[in-house]
Amino acid sequence: MASEKTKKLFADIVSVADIKINGNRPSDIKIHNDRFYQGLLRTGLLGAGESYMAGDWDCEAIDEMIYKLLKADLGHYAKENPLHMVHLLGAKIINYGRRSKAFQVGEHHYDTGNDLFKAMLDKRMVYSCGYWKNAKNLDEAQENKLDLICRKLGLQKGMRMLDIGGGWGGLAIFAAQRYGVSTVILTVSKEQKKLTEELAKGLPVEVRLQDYRDINEKFDRVVSVGMFEHVGTKNYRTYMKVVRRCLNDDGLSLLHTITGHESVDVANPWLSKYIFPNGCIPSIKQISEAAEGLFVIEDVHNFGADYDPTLMEWYKNFEAAWPELKKNYSETFYRMWRLYILSCAGSFRARTISLTQTVLSPKGVPGGYVAIR
């Protein structure tokens, strides 16, 4: 049982963010079981997430609750837990992105079930931030993003592109249909490979179940959308070296990734355990350092605010499909997935994390690169 002192301390802390315990507003937290406090004290964010999955607490608007907590800058309270330092130390010693773990995120997350992702995502099954400029819905936002990438890369008919971590082939299929480009996709997910091959049938799209470090071929363009978060800090430089050896001297590369506003070595422990094993969000500084001496950074474009509406559309789709999906998934999974999507939406809304597209060239674009928006 949690002491009354512990309960009061927690209530006082969250009140700074205008959140009440057992209040009536959508962003208020309702505690059903004292195990919530025990988990929070033992393992911080990991314990809080696990106790939500167990049904120990609820919040109608998790996205708004997370937004309030982050805007009030309460994150430092989690870091005061000594176990956070143990986790941080582990990240400095262990290479979480090493080869032996390369396929773990594919098996754990992307192989969850194509039925889930078909229901949640847009018609092209693009599992990354949409570009909402002039878009009226999720389908338009994702097509905007795909076309933005193609224009930034200057794709032309007959080019050959490498897509590292190509998802369900959304970009490769779009590039083939609209720009006449052939693409080799690298994925670590068997389920993604299977479905992508079905969706891309008849198009110049090849899908390989292969770690990015094992490719050594030349391409006109190299792109990665939402994969760099899985690389791990110890492998950022390795990733850049692979891209450089695979890119023609007059080629371009685009890196689309979530970015943090400070350089870290470790991810949110709950997200790392239950959603994206071994991942970590890079900073622009870390990307720049990894590219140093290999590339000219031609353009950096931050549209992180667009991830909030993207995630909220995914959540709406997930909720609408749950009556059918629950035949194949547990209530614990429902709570886990709900916490994942809504907490991420709140984080982007608070602008504590961003979404960045970086354009790279091996030797600089003659006359200068013209930024596309």
Q: What is the pLDDT of residues 180-214, one digit of tens each?
A: 999 999 999 888 999 999 999 999 999 999 999 99
The closest of 179, 169, 148, 348 to 254, measured between CA atoms, is 148
Mean pLDDT, residues 263-291: 90
The closest of 172, 122, 165, 168 to 146, measured between CA atoms, is 172
Q: Is the pLDDT of residue 369 over 60?
A: yes
Note whether 164 and 213 are within 8 A (CB).
no
Is 150 tagged catalytic? no
Kindly name the residue from 59, 150, 246, 344 that is annotated as catalytic. Answer: 344
Residue 110 pLDDT level (bands cut at 50, 70, 90): very low
Q: Please state the φ and ψ torsions of residue 221, each to the nearest 5 degrees.
A: -140, 145
The closest of 342, 358, 360 to 303, measured between CA atoms, is 358
- What are the extents of the domains in the chain? 4-93, 100-361
List Cβ neighbours of 119 (8 Å cut-off, separation of 6 or more): 317, 318, 320, 321, 324, 325
- Rounded CA-CA distance 180/168 in Å is 18
Lowest mean pLDDT among 124-138, 202-216, 256-270, 278-292: 256-270
Q: Is the pLDDT of residue 361 over 70?
A: yes
**What is the pLDDT, as a whole number, of residue 334?**
96
What global pTM score does this model have?
0.89
102 versus 194: the higher-pLDDT residue is 194
Tell me the pLDDT of the chain averaged across its residues.
Answer: 89
Long-range contacts of 36-42 (CB under 8 A, 24+ apart): 37/2, 37/6, 37/7, 37/10, 38/2, 40/10, 41/2, 41/6, 41/81, 42/83
Let me know if domain 100-361 sits in CATH 3.40.50.150: yes
Q: Looking only at Cα atoms, what is the longest distance across the chain?
A: 69
Looking at the chain, the whole-number percentage of residues with pLDDT higher than 70 is 89
Mean pLDDT, residues 26-46: 90
Distance of alpha carbon 275 from the chain centroid:
10
Residue 7 pLDDT level (bands cut at 50, 70, 90): confident
- Rounded CA-CA distance 343/45 in Å is 12
**Radius of gyration over every alpha carbon of the chain, rounded to an integer in angstroms:** 21
Note whether 307 and 341 are within 8 A (CB).
no
Question: What's the token pair of residue 288?
Answer: 């720049």
- Rounded CA-CA distance 68/290 in Å is 34
Helix axes 62-71, 307-325, angle to 10 degrees: 150
Q: Is the pLDDT of residue 105 over 50?
A: no
**What is the pLDDT, as a whole number, of residue 100?**
52
